[in-house]
Amino acid sequence: MIKIDHHIHTDNSFDSVEKVKNMCEKAVSEGIEIIGFGEHFSTIERLPTYGHMNFQKYDYEIECCRRLFKDKLEILKGLEICSPQFNIDSILKTVKDEGIDFIIGSVHDIDGPKLRKYIEGKSNKDAYEGYFKKVLEVSEKGEYDILGHIDLLKRYAFEKLGNYEFCDFKGIISEILNNVIRRGKAIEINTSGLDCGANELFPSIRVLKLYKELGGKLITIGSDAHSAEKLGNNHEIAVNALRDLGYGEYYYYKQRKPQRVVF
């Protein structure tokens, strides 16, 4: 089985100091055959991701490593875009000009405040309801290939507010997943959730089961590693979760097209 990490970050993102080459070296040493750099990017000036990306640097480092690790590692050049339902024309131009392989669409803020700040003073229900409404908006209107870490809020809310009750939000989560399926997009299993207080994949097994029941097929797996030491974390757990749900494959994206990997 091909081992893939489809969501990693380097110093091309505002919140990492890791180098592209270090990630590639680690991938080869760990037997990972395909990696996808999903560097943070935004067209919205109020967000911390805005203005950090130097595409000339990003492209140069990717191309250098593609030559250096040829025949050892396939390197995908992606973006994780916060609030990709805005400025879509600008996003499409950037993606075309920069030869981007995939877009992960994510929610990291709610109309300004970052998620850690957003939850302050809110009840469990209000916090998660506001968050899932924003994910719903992205799923319906955003420019993305993969909807990222659908229930990410639990990373920030778990210690103060606890996890969300799946039955309370099954309706809106179903709407989100149906949007993804209808538009021919993918969801990701983001394994970094196993390293936070909630100790669950993003999204939870119940969400993945619902996706399967609704007819969802396209799923990627990523560690969301911001350092080389976390590259590929918990990959086997994610694959086993898919197997338990009756899946026999997962996907990666190249030139914005899903590529099937059978396990």
* Residue 14, CA distances (Å) to 9, 35, 184, 240 in order: 9, 19, 30, 32
Residue 1 in this model has a pLDDT that exceeds 80: no
For residue 67, pLDDT beyond 80: yes
116, pLDDT greater than 80: yes
pLDDT at 46: 84
pLDDT at 90 over 80: yes
The answer to whether the beta carbons of residues 89 and 109 sit under 8 Å apart is no
Contact 106, 134 (CB under 8 A): no
- Residues 231, 225: contact at Cβ < 8 Å? yes
Amino acid at 159: E
| Complete domains list, the chain, with CATH | 4-262 (3.20.20.140)
Q: What is the pLDDT of residues 204-219, one digit of tens each?
A: 999 999 999 999 999 9
Largest CA distance in the chain: 52
pLDDT in tens, 5-64: 999 999 999 999 999 999 999 999 999 999 999 999 999 988 888 889 999 999 999 999
Strands of the 146-147 sheet, one edge to the other: 4-8, 34-41, 74-82, 102-106, 146-147, 186-190, 219-222
- What amino acid occupies position 69? F
- Give the model's pLDDT for residue 192: 98
